[in-house]
Chain A
Amino acid sequence: MIELEGLTKRYGEKVAVNNLTFAVRPGIVTGFLGPNGAGKSTTMRMVLGLDHPTAGDVRIDGQHYDHLRDPLTYIGALLDAKAMHGGRSAFHHLLCLAQSNGIPKARVHEVLDTVGLTPVANKKAKGFSLGMGQRLGIAGALLGDPRILMFDEPVNGLDPEGIHWIRNLMKSLAAQGRTVFVSSHLMSEMALTADHLVVIGQGRLLADTSMADFIQQNSRSYVRIRSPQRERLLDVLHGAGITVVETGSGMLEVDGGKPEHIGELAAQHQIVLHELSPQQASLEEAFMQLTAESVEYHAHADTPHTPTPRPAPQWGGDWKRG
């Protein structure tokens, strides 16, 4: 169990984490979601006592991190796959961590086996690919057989096989009754792994909800219709008591409508339809809507759409410049 209470981190004027209060419970995977720069990593560093909070408190199983005896046996974390000395072998990297927390050497071989790095155990970490570095970081997190695990963007830069492996690992750890807290900036990734969601934006808590509730509340289904006889269709639908939303470019949308019903209505009135399709708003859209106001750096689409016309190439025009 990780408990945050009014956790706040300021860097001068800028508030990176703003009064966060929530708890991460055992037995489930809790997704920690937010756009880049929302304060996820800062929050995780404060959980581990690496960064000092400006205000508020964070406790691991009711204790402050620096009061834990052999902390790796309480909570294992992967913050940054590159947080290791590249000149040290995978085995020695894990061995020094194990010794500092009184963990037997045999456990080092076990976790190397779990993450599949046994064949390269004596190779220097600087030669590792991003995926191997990530696996070594995860081995370090698992080393103390902790009840709580925390991963910061664990699937970043991994190949599909690695992503699949991490998803299953997190699910199985949660199924063993452990607390699993994993951050991501991708809703689609969270939808596949998390049971519970904590969403933050610009350091503030935006949602703390179960995944099922989030999906139910945020996945809008609607029917999209296009017709050359738009006005007649609108009359007919209004007559049947169906609310229609007109969107741009002549499209009509009916929230929660059944395409069968609308199609039959149109047929009865001999209206031609060019499109009648059921649609589902994605969770990604719901997430973007939720965090829209809190995204730090928007990419604006206001650049001119027409590309600057290039002078027509003249045959031989580049001849001298070559």
Chain B
Amino acid sequence: MAATQVLKSEWTKIRSVASTVWTLSLAAIVTIALGILISLLSKNEFDNMPVRERLSFDPTFISFAGMTLGQLAMIVFGVLVVGNEYSTGMIRTSLAAVPQRGTFLFSKIAVAAGLALVVGMITSFVAFFLGQAVLGVHKASIGDPGVLRAVIGGGLYMTLIAVFSMGVAAMLRSPMLSLGILMPFFFLISNILGAVSATKKVGRYLPDQAGSKIMRVVTPIGDDTPYGPWGGLVIMVLWVAAALIGGYALLKKRDA
């Protein structure tokens, strides 16, 4: 079974369902629009900020503020790409056509991840430039140290969130169950763990908190995070790899 055939087939699958278009466009629109809004608010609030916050003001990171909400649409995209095979029963037809389950799963994930990367990168660059335009005098420039890394990192972050969701959906099979776990986790639990001082040290090893470090250019004062931007991304990649290995192991073992 040639992998190129399966990649082609998965590309046809992903472009022929409506959920691909609406989840990805929602991810882009929400991230960019919310980023502009928060950049605008920050600019107006800047003069009223305490000195401490003004010193660690990170215009790049602020323009990515919309990602906390936009990533939820990326999660839905990732979950539906894999989970819909199960919820519709298509999985039996798919595996009859491609019985090499590893080839099937990783071709599907490669195609979906590629698409998420393109959308994520465009979103990240657009959110950055529009956000900076709004920030006016407080803006960062793409040529400033660490800024290009942060903007590319934003695209990578969105892609990895989607791929992590694909792995989780491959393990859980049900889209509803996957979303029911992933959405509150990334929207609430991770934030709560990161905000409470007792759990902060654990919280920063969660995929989204570790991964989002790459989008920061200015380190907040008093931040003692033991990893840098790339270290954080590696932690996130490890989470994604674990989810994918789990998904593959279960798909391999289970009856379809």
Residues of A participating in the B interface, judged by any CB pair closer than 8 Å:
45, 48-52, 65-66, 68-72, 77, 79-80, 82-89, 92, 95-102, 140
A84 with B96: in contact, given A52-B255, A89-B16, A96-B13 (CB under 8 Å)? no
A–B pairs, 13, beta carbons within 8 Å = A48-B92, A49-B99, A66-B100, A79-B92, A82-B88, A83-B93, A85-B17, A85-B90, A95-B12, A95-B16, A100-B6, A100-B9, A102-B5
Closest Cβ of chain B to A104, distance in Å, is 12
A48 with B5: in contact, given A87-B19, A88-B17 (CB under 8 Å)? no
Cα distance A160–B6 in the bound complex, in angstroms: 38
Q: Which residues of chain A have C-beta atoms less than 8 A from B12's C-beta? A: 92, 95-96, 99
Q: Which residues of chain B have C-beta atoms less than 8 A from A97's C-beta? A: 9, 93, 97
Q: Which of B2, B18, B89, B96 contacts A87 (CB 8 A)?
A: B18
Contact A69 B1 (CB under 8 A): yes
Q: Cβ of B256 < 8 Å from any Cβ of A?
A: yes
Q: Cβ of B208 < 8 Å from any Cβ of A?
A: no
Q: Which residues of chain A have C-beta atoms less than 8 A from B2's C-beta? A: 102
Interface string of B1-27 (1 = CB under 8 A from A): 110011011101100111100000000
Contact B16 A51 (CB under 8 A): no
Q: Tell me if B's interface is mostly helix, strand, loop or mixed.
A: helix
Q: Cβ of B95 < 8 Å from any Cβ of A?
A: yes
Contact B97 A50 (CB under 8 A): no
Q: Which of A50, A92, A96 contacts B96 (CB 8 A)?
A: A50
Cα distance A52–B256 in the bound complex, in angstroms: 9
Which chain B residue lies CB-closest to A84?
A: B90
Q: Which of A65, A66, A86, A101 contacts B88 (CB 8 A)?
A: A86
Q: Which residues of chain A have C-beta atoms less than 8 A from B94's C-beta? A: 100
Closest Cβ of chain A to B59, distance in Å, is 41
Q: How many residues of B contact A (CB 8 A)?
A: 30
A80 with B1: in contact, given A45-B255, A50-B255, A66-B100 (CB under 8 Å)? no
Q: Which residues of chain B have C-beta atoms less than 8 A from A66's C-beta? A: 99-100
Which chain A residue lies CB-closest to B19?
A: A87
- Excluding A71-B99, A84-B90, A95-B16, 11 further A-B contacts by CB distance (< 8 Å) are A45-B256, A50-B95, A66-B99, A70-B5, A83-B88, A85-B85, A85-B90, A87-B18, A92-B16, A99-B9, A100-B97
Which chain A residue lies CB-closest to B89?
A: A83
Q: Which residues of chain A have C-beta atoms less than 8 A from B1's C-beta? A: 69-70
Q: Which residues of chain A have C-beta atoms less than 8 A from B9's C-beta? A: 96-100
Contact A99 B99 (CB under 8 A): no
Which chain A residue lies CB-closest to B91?
A: A83
Contact B84 A85 (CB under 8 A): yes
Cα distance A79–B114 in the bound complex, in angstroms: 32
Q: Cβ of B126 < 8 Å from any Cβ of A?
A: no
Contact B95 A87 (CB under 8 A): no
Q: Which residues of chain B have C-beta atoms less than 8 A from A80's C-beta? A: 89, 92
Q: Which of B8, B84, B92 contacts A83 (CB 8 A)?
A: B92
A83 with B95: in contact, given A99-B12, A100-B5 (CB under 8 Å)? no
Which chain A residue lies CB-closest to B14?
A: A96
Contact B89 A82 (CB under 8 A): yes
Cα distance A17–B210 in the bound complex, in angstroms: 49
Contact A100 B89 (CB under 8 A): no
Which chain A residue lies CB-closest to B10?
A: A96
Cα distance A12–B10 in the bound complex, in angstroms: 35
Q: Which residues of chain A have C-beta atoms less than 8 A from B69's C-beta? A: none
Cα distance A196–B255 in the bound complex, in angstroms: 30
Closest Cβ of chain B to A126, distance in Å, is 9
Q: Cβ of B119 < 8 Å from any Cβ of A?
A: no
Which chain A residue lies CB-closest to B6?
A: A100
